[in-house]
Amino acid sequence: MSEIVNQSLQKIAKGTAIVFFSSMISMLFAFGGRVLMARFFSQSEFGIFSLALVILNIAVIISTLGFQQGTTRQIAYYRGKADEAKVQGVISSSLKIAILASIVLALVLFFSSNIVSTRIFHEPELASTLKIFSIAIPFFVLINILASIFRGFDDVKPKAYFYDILMSGLFPLLLLPVILLGLSFSTSIYAFSTSIILTGIAFAVFTLKAAPFIPRRYPIISPADKELLLFSLPLLGIFLLGSISSWTDTLMLGYFKTAEVVGLYNAAVPLAQLISVILASMGFIYVPIASQLYSQNLMAEIKRTYQVITKWIFSASFPLFLLLFLFPEAILSFFFGTGYTEAAMALRILSLGFVLNAFVGENAWTLIVLGKTRLVMLGGVLVTGLNVALNIALIPRWGIIGAAIALLIAYLAANIFCSVMLYQLYRIHPFTKNYLKPLLACSIIIASIYTLTRNLYVVNHWMLPLIFVLFLVVYGLCLLLTKSFDKEDIMMLLAIEDRLGMNLTAIKRILRRFV
């Protein structure tokens, strides 16, 4: 078993190294674009942009029909069984069906934008933004489907190059001249849509030239269509419910409050989402690898792989959570200005929700890999209903604080459901002594330091990087002193060293003394 686990972890580590850095670049570009929008346009306009962005993403999720993940899983599964015909059928079906659905959704959003803007969100200015965004929907869907196809072949580089770097980088690049020339808010919306359209075209050209697995002929109807739809439609329900649950806070704030309040809240959201970078990076490559293990009925290997990567995900995410949770005012002021420090408590609560996701790792994805899509969808229905009810109850009274609390409780419920189901059905869980020991030790140390020193000084912006490094060092020392490294951790480190071309000999020597 250990050899198979090591090989799987090496693949995950190598893929994660690429996806992590590209995701970091993507998050920085996306975050930079939001900061520019917040600083150079009004809080109301930033709120309209945030609302429209949520609606755009929901439309894209519906258009993909669950293929974004279903395609990856099915390709990896049939590759594990060496069934090339089924692999080609999945590729063909996902492309033709998703593109057709995206065109339909784009037209629906374009012609319903006035109704959505005035009757639901009471913001007439939102209509023009939705119309501009609707043009980009087919291109956005194409980017997602192509990335999922390459991902099914364990190739994460196209997603990194096109989705993370090109698309994310084009928006702030196109936004800069808009700001420098003092152009209108609507021009910035065109810049966003243009970044998606150009990326979609570039990705399609690259695929036609560099991807020999794309079939040359696309039959109108094929047997693979039904099979892919039957597997992926529950995934559509899962991701649509999950996305609605994640974005209910923004949508409900837009309904009950004003665009200014939406803008304030959406200064906290992207900061808290930074905690999920590692989770998303490892999950991107974990799914196809776990699918191949499942196709060979290697359940013990799936369990151990899940445990190891969850420890890595949380270990890398926890120091950032500490920084956001303990110093939200300083961070919001630095990035968005003093006018956004009102969102400090919301940022604290949201950070708790996102670090909880990291704590239990890829529980939902593991259930999906194991074929329990309907079970995950059922959990999604229950959690989304709970989240909507909480938002309705809490937002009118507590505004952005109520929205953040609702999201935290929804994430808690979702993770409890998936983790309990995963354990009951397969006896899979991420919790080991070497995972929990450093967490407990670090929490006690940091809490003690913060309690003793919080009234002795005021945290300035220049101190934030130093504090973050301190948290990293403390957690790293806790890992070492509690002897919480496993032999699989060394294998992961070797794979990262090989992928990045770095010499980590000194670190490996230290770690081997504590294994």
Per-residue HEC secondary structure of 288-324 comes to: HHHHHHHHCCCHHHHHHHHHHHHHHHHHHHHHHHHHH
Spatial separation of the C-alpha atoms in residues 57 and 190, rounded to whole Å: 16
pLDDT at 272: 92
Q: Is the pLDDT of residue 364 over 60?
A: yes
Q: Is the pLDDT of residue 375 over 60?
A: yes
Spatial separation of the C-alpha atoms in residues 408 and 352, rounded to whole Å: 7
Cα–Cα separations (whole angstroms), residue 131 to 35, 135, 189: 23, 7, 10
* Reported confidence tier of residue 176, pLDDT bands at 50, 70, 90: very high
Average pLDDT over residues 152-178: 87
Q: Is the pLDDT of residue 16 over 60?
A: no
* Reported confidence tier of residue 7, pLDDT bands at 50, 70, 90: low
Average pLDDT for the chain: 82
pTM of the full predicted structure?
0.74
pLDDT at 502: 54
pLDDT at 316: 85
Q: Is the pLDDT of residue 8 over 70?
A: no
Average pLDDT over residues 160-167: 89
Average pLDDT over residues 13-23: 64
pLDDT digits (tens, 9 = 90+) for 242-293: 666 677 888 899 888 888 888 899 889 889 988 887 777 776 667 777 777 8
pLDDT more than 70, % of the chain: 82
Q: Is the pLDDT of residue 417 over 90?
A: yes
* Reported confidence tier of residue 127, pLDDT bands at 50, 70, 90: very high
CA 46 to chain centre: 21
SS (H, E, C) 437-467: HHHHHHHHHHHHHHHHHCCCCCCCHHHHHHH
Average pLDDT over residues 7-26: 64
* Reported confidence tier of residue 313, pLDDT bands at 50, 70, 90: confident
Spatial separation of the C-alpha atoms in residues 403 and 264, rounded to whole Å: 12
pLDDT digits (tens, 9 = 90+) for 144-162: 989 888 877 877 788 888 9
Q: Is the pLDDT of residue 212 over 60?
A: no
For residue 142, the SS3 value is helix
pLDDT digits (tens, 9 = 90+) for 330-345: 999 888 888 889 999 9
Q: Is the pLDDT of residue 456 over 70?
A: no
pLDDT at 19: 65
Q: Is the pLDDT of residue 220 over 80?
A: no
pLDDT at 230: 66
pLDDT more than 90, % of the chain: 29
pLDDT at 312: 84
For residue 342, the 8-state DSSP code is G
* Reported confidence tier of residue 235, pLDDT bands at 50, 70, 90: low
Q: Which residue intervals of 257-399 are DSSP H helices?
A: 259-273, 277-295, 299-326, 328-336, 344-360, 363-369, 373-398
Average pLDDT over residues 430-446: 88
Spatial separation of the C-alpha atoms in residues 501 and 314, rounded to whole Å: 25
Q: Provide the terminal-to-terminal Cα distance of the chain, rounded to the nearest Å.
A: 19
CB 224 within 8 A of CB 89: yes
Q: Is the pLDDT of residue 11 over 70?
A: no
Q: Is the pLDDT of residue 347 over 90?
A: yes
Nearest to 208 by CA among 74, 95, 80: 95
